[in-house]
Amino acid sequence: MPITGDMRKSLDVKLARILSDRSCSDFILADAKDADMAYGLSAPGQSPEQYGHEGVFRTLDEYRDQIRAIITQGLVDIVLMSASTNEILTIREKRFENSAITPAIRANDTTDIWLAGAEGVYGREPSRWFRTATLDHAMCGKEYCKPEERKIGADLGLYSITYNNDLELDREALFAYKEFRIEAEHKGFRHFLEVFSPNISGTNTPKDIPAFVNNHIVRTLAGVTSKGRPVFLKIPYYGPAAMEALARYDSEMIVGILGGSAGTTLDAFQMLYDAKKYGARVALYGRKINNAEHQLSFVKYLRLIADGQILPIEATKAYHGDLQKLNIKPRRSPDKDLERMEMADSYSGQSGQTKKHSVVNPPHFDNKPDFAKMSAAEKIQWNLDRLTKVFG
């Protein structure tokens, strides 16, 4: 999307239009390329080259090259990155200066996204607050920014909360969020709020997780005035009823979805289409984009669906047509890629199963598999699947 006229970012234009006219057709797309904040060596995704059953991944440099290509293409509205990638692409290389795309950083990294390889146990423990990135480092790349330096880097970030229906832990999370909001307001830093499903099960596990998440969101924001509120929300897509209930609740609140596990191409396209139909105005896709055979073609069809120019099945067929023209072998046949799979919205060690309907109440994943009986490739896949909740 080339910048013309007043050089405004497409995000700012769309946010203003959506808030002034909820019937407008604008939809915000984000590419979530912040996986290095959670996993480690496998964050950039599997290398397209095949090495038998070995797990070989792209390098971080290759991952950043993909971001550069997405920026050049110009079809998304936001690119979400780690603070270190933001320093390179936004501050040093100034990739966003002549782009309508808005750079953003992951502003906190709670313990449930500490996926330290196959041996990490943190994702199976209740989420605890933590924040590596500082706002000043995001905004200007150093410990303290002068006021005039605060636009050098990113002035938008993703802040994440996982409620587990635990009084002390949830109270701790809210205190941390309050401190973040106050600092962000002082420094002119905007944020969008991500709220996950509970990451553990136990005696306090809510029976209706979509309702639990929705109710926590509106309760959390009820005491927050406009200067401190998130510009939009990022939540799992629980289905039409939960989305409609939240989207219609407050005309000042813009609701978005996270992508979920990679699944089929039709899964990705249909989720976006359905979420928009039932009230979502934002979609942040991570693994769905990163796992695509050709990311730029995949993003092209996400944009066409978001803008109401093509339907999901038609887009899936067209995407395979593009792969054929590019001489890229698809991971699935066109027929298989037109099937739907069971999608999880939180960490999972299970592969999706073909089915017709999406999961409403997400599964919990307390049981650690027997790694001694797993091959290296199986361990890698299990841990890649655990990224589902965080990066889509």
**Confidence band for 348, pLDDT divided at 50, 70 and 90:** very low
- Which one, of 283, 262, 348, 299, lies nearest residue 46 by Cα? 262
Q: What is the pLDDT of residues 168-211, one digit of tens each?
A: 999 999 999 999 999 999 999 999 999 999 998 877 889 999 99
**Confidence band for 91, pLDDT divided at 50, 70 and 90:** very high
The pLDDT of residue 272: 97
Q: How far apart are CA 10 and CA 102, in angstroms?
A: 8
Exposure string over 284-306, b if 16+ CB within 10 A, otherwise e: bbbbbbbbbbebbbbbbbbbbbb
Q: Which residue has the higher pLDDT, 271 or 385?
A: 271
167 with 155: CB under 8 angstroms? no
Q: What is the pLDDT of residues 302-335, one digit of tens each?
A: 999 999 999 999 999 999 999 999 999 999 999 9
Q: How far apart are CA 26 and CA 18, in angstroms?
A: 7
116-127 average pLDDT score: 81
Q: Where are the alpha helices (DSSP H) in 207-311?
A: 209-222, 240-247, 265-277, 287-290, 295-306
Tokens of 111: 């313990």
- Tell whether the model's pLDDT for residue 84 goes beyond 80: yes
Q: How far apart are CA 207 and CA 195, in angstroms?
A: 17
- Tell whether the model's pLDDT for residue 381 goes beyond 60: no
- Tell whether the model's pLDDT for residue 54 goes beyond 90: no
Domains, the chain, with CATH or none: 10-391 (3.20.20.70)
Exposure string over 194-209, b if 16+ CB within 10 A, otherwise e: bbbbbbbeeeeebeeb
The pLDDT of residue 127: 95
- Tell whether the model's pLDDT for residue 74 goes beyond 50: yes
Tokens of 5: 């006229």
132 with 83: CB under 8 angstroms? yes
Q: Where are the beta strands (DSSP E) in the chain?
A: 28-33, 78-81, 102-106, 156-162, 190-196, 233-235, 255-258, 282-285
- Tell whether the model's pLDDT for residue 363 goes beyond 50: no
Q: How far is CA 210 from the centre of its chain?
A: 18
Length of the chain: 392
The DSSP 8-state label assigned to residue 36 in this structure reads: G
Angle, vertex CA 221, rays to CA 217 and CA 226, nearest 5: 140
- Tell whether the model's pLDDT for residue 389 goes beyond 70: no
- Tell whether the model's pLDDT for residue 370 goes beyond 80: no
The pLDDT of residue 115: 82
216-241 average pLDDT score: 97
**H helix or E strand, kind and range, residue 337:** helix 334-337
**Confidence band for 263, pLDDT divided at 50, 70 and 90:** confident
The DSSP 8-state label assigned to residue 8 in this structure reads: -
Average pLDDT over the chain reads 87
Q: How far apart are CA 383 and CA 114, in angstroms?
A: 11
- Which one, of 162, 164, 161, 136, lies nearest residue 151 by Cα? 136
